[in-house]
Amino acid sequence: MSFASLGLMSALLDNLQQLGYQQPTAVQQQAIAPVLAGSDVLAAAQTGTGKTAAFTLPVLQKMLTEGSKVTANCVRTLVLVPTRELAEQVHESIVSYLQELPLRTAVAYGGVSINPQMMKMRRGVDILVATPGRLIDLYQHNAVRFHQLQVLVLDEADRMLDLGFADELNALFTLMPRKRQTLLFSATFSGPIRTLAGRLLDQPVRIDVTPKHSAAETVKQYLLVVDKKDKAELLLHLLNSRQWGQVLVFVRTRKGAEALSKKLLAAQVATDAIHGDKTQPARLRALQDFKDGRIQVLVATDVAARGLDIEQLLHVVNFDLPTVAQDYVHRVGRTGRAGLTGEAVSLVSADELDELIAIEELLGLNLQRFDEPGFYAEHRLPDTVVGVGRIKKPKKPKKNKAAGSGNIHLGDAFAPQPAPQVVQVRQMPRLAVHGRGKPKTHKPKAR
């Protein structure tokens, strides 16, 4: 199947050819035609399978061929995403697909000044990519209006709910016209997401091109058992001994990201970190340096698990396992994209057993585990079985230290015992009754 057979206009086909797009992916094959036909769409697909193009390409064609010209502060297509990084990535994709075609686009998210974003909205935009919080800010500043809205896209909607955007989303939905086309794309669908889809979508076309909660088959996944204190040294060993190129390393906390980054820099490894405490310009600069090959290791918290699209990234390392099992899928999805192979290595210590069990239950499989020579963990990670959790190993019976000749040692059980010592108990003084009958206790004098 070709992109031309999906009904895309020649101008978009020419742009795709210049970008090197050959054939549509599975989700693109199933989604583009229904979106062009005006249907609501509920699509589940793995990260890295081309979801962005699946909704962007047909929406661009609709904006070019349908509807009236956008007016001041209005938006015709709104794409809501959970993170700043994903907002930038989606907007970059839109710009690349458009090239010289006459549509106005904009991107809006927090962490940067709102004024340039408000200025961008003055003339109105055909397509706006935004995070929920910043979009509400723009609305409260009278910088955006929704009465011209034709298409609403929710990208990574499950992540938006995970990050606590439910109230913001509900507030935004009440501001939008009911007569619109709604597209809901995500890597995973939980119960709350299906409930949200049932409330927002009208007889949607349902698309599910991948097994639930799984990483791409092109990604080799395994874990190395290691003591927590040795993780940084093991990571350095892997970088050197396996001659890895660029590596994306995920950690659990902002503090952990900074600490690991400093250790790698001290070992002469070109490294930078992105996390929530860094300014947006600093995060964008670190990401661009990584994409351009100026740094070898990018250390990130889960703020970057979705929204990072790095070509030919071969290695992802889970320095810490995520506290939310679904985030493992999105971390691993940064490699093995667009049909390429990748490797996802998790450095797992014994105190991460509960997180490992949750991840394996989500995936429906046990990850292969290995010991790296020279880093044998003193604190062993218990075995796990999907559906069972951890396996409790039988305790070894304690040896009798006194056993040696085979004779039973009874100790002093039959030795003569001293007579029990008689302790004289001093008689307590009588209680004298005073006043309303309450007893008054006399304290014995100290000897």
Query: 172 falls in which pLDDT band (50, 70, 90)?
Result: very high
Give the pLDDT band of residue 92 (cuts 50, 70, 90).
very high
Instruction: Specify the higher pLDDT residue, 419 or 327.
Output: 327
Residue 431 has pLDDT above 50, yes or no: no
What would you report as the CA-atom Rg of the chain, rounded to the nearest whole angstrom?
A: 31
Q: What is the DSSP string of 355-371?
A: HHHHHHHHHTSPPEEE-
Residue 392: its pLDDT value, please? Answer: 60
Answer whether residue 71 shows pLDDT above 90. yes
Tell me the backbone φ, ψ of residue 125, rounded to 5 degrees: -135, 145
pLDDT of residue 342 exceeding 50: yes
Residue 434 pLDDT exceeds 50: no
**Sequence-ordered alpha helix ranges (H) in 73-163:** 84-98, 115-121, 132-140, 157-162
Mean pLDDT of the chain: 84
What is the pLDDT at residue 10? 93
Give tens-digit pLDDT for 377-402. 999 999 988 877 677 655 555 555 44
pLDDT at 441 over 60: no
Nearest to 61 by CA among 77, 47, 83, 45: 77
Q: At residue 339, does pLDDT exceed 70?
A: no
On whether the CB atoms of residues 298 and 273 are closer than 8 A, the answer is yes
Task: For 175-193, write each residue's pLDDT tens digit.
Answer: 999 999 999 987 767 677 7
Which has the higher per-residue pLDDT, 218 or 348? 348
- pLDDT confidence of residue 277: 81
Q: Which own/partner pairs from 108-116 qualify as long-range (CB within 8 Å, at least 24 positions apart)?
A: 108/134, 108/135, 108/138, 109/83, 109/84, 109/134, 109/280, 110/84, 110/134, 110/137, 110/280, 111/84, 111/279, 111/280, 111/283, 112/279, 112/280, 112/281, 114/138, 114/141, 114/143
Answer whether residue 438 shows pLDDT above 70: no
Topology alike, domains 4-208 and 219-389: yes
For a pLDDT cut of 70, what percent of the chain falls above it? 82
State the pLDDT at residue 251. 95
- Contacts of residue 37, defined as CB under 8 A and 6 or more positions apart, other chains included, come to none
The CATH number assigned to the domain with range 4-208 reads 3.40.50.300
pLDDT at 76: 97
40: amino acid identity, one letter: D
Domain ranges of the chain: 4-208, 219-389
Give alpha helix (H) positions in 99-230. Answer: 115-121, 132-140, 157-162, 166-175, 191-200
Class of 219-389 per CATH? alpha beta
Residue 306 has pLDDT above 70, yes or no: no
With beta carbons less than 8 A apart as the criterion, state whether 299 and 273 touch: yes
Total-model pTM: 0.65
d(CA 125, CA 78): 10
What confidence tens digit (pLDDT) does each residue in 350-371 have? 999 999 999 999 888 899 999 9
